[in-house]
Amino acid sequence: MKKNISKYNIHTDKWGNLVALEGNDLIPFHIRRVYYIYGVQKGVRRGFHSHKKLEQVLICVHGSVKILVKTPDEEEIVTLNKPNEGLYIGPNIWREMYDFSEDAVLLVLASAHYKESDYIRKYDDYLKYYEKKVRGSK
C-alpha cells in the first residue's frame, strides 16, 4: 500500500511555531490543490472513496482525526493529531475519515485539481477496479 507518515520540521522561536512544506520536496508531488475539512459533527464518517491517479498528503493541523486506509489485502488505522505530521496516500487506496475532534482541521494537499472522474465512490467498484487495473497490471 503506497502510504506513509512523515514528520516535518517545526521552526520554533519566541514568536511561535512554523511548519513549511514545499511541493516536489517534503511533499512528494507538485501541489495543485489545497483544501481543508473542519466543523465535522460528532459521529460523522466521511471519505468512502479511492482515487485512480490522485496523490494526497493529509495533515491534521488542529485537533485529531482517525484515517482508515485499506486495499483488498491490508488495512490500517492512522491517528493524525500533530500539526507537523503528514499522511501520504497514493492512488488506489480506499479511505475513510472518522472520530474528528470538534476542533479538528484536516488540511489536504493534492496532486491535481478536483476531478470527479478520478474518484471511485462505491466499494464494489473499487474492488473490481483494483483487481483489473492494479493487480492485473502486476
Q: Which CB sits closer to ligand TYD, 34 or 124?
A: 34
Taking the C-alpha atoms of residue 37 and residue 61, their distance in angstroms, rounded to an integer, is: 10
Q: Which of 11, 12, 30, 114 binds ligand TYD (CB under 6 A)?
A: 114
User: Residue 5's beta-bridge partner residues?
Assistant: 87
- The question of whether 113 is a catalytic residue gets the answer no
Residue found under cell 513549511:
20
Taking the C-alpha atoms of residue 85 and residue 60, their distance in angstroms, rounded to an integer, is: 8
Among the listed residues 11, 30, 49, 62, the single catalytic one is 49
Minimum distance, C-beta of residue 16 to ligand TYD, in the bound complex (Å): 29
> Cβ distance 58 to 30 under 8 Å?
no
Q: Which of 23, 47, 63, 83 binds ligand TYD (CB under 6 A)?
A: 47
Binding mask 48-87 for ligand TYD (x = CB under 6 A): -x--------------------------------------
Binding mask 14-33 for ligand TYD (x = CB under 6 A): -------------------x
Q: If we measure between CA atoms, which residue out of 103, 106, 100, 99 comes closest to residue 83?
A: 106
17 half-sphere exposure, CB direction, 13 A CA radius: 8
Q: Which amino acid is at 82?
A: K
Q: Does 46 help bind ligand TYD (rule: CB under 6 A)?
A: yes
Residues annotated catalytic, as ranges: 49
Task: Write out the residues near ligand TYD by the rule CB under 6 A.
Answer: 33, 35, 37, 46-47, 49, 114
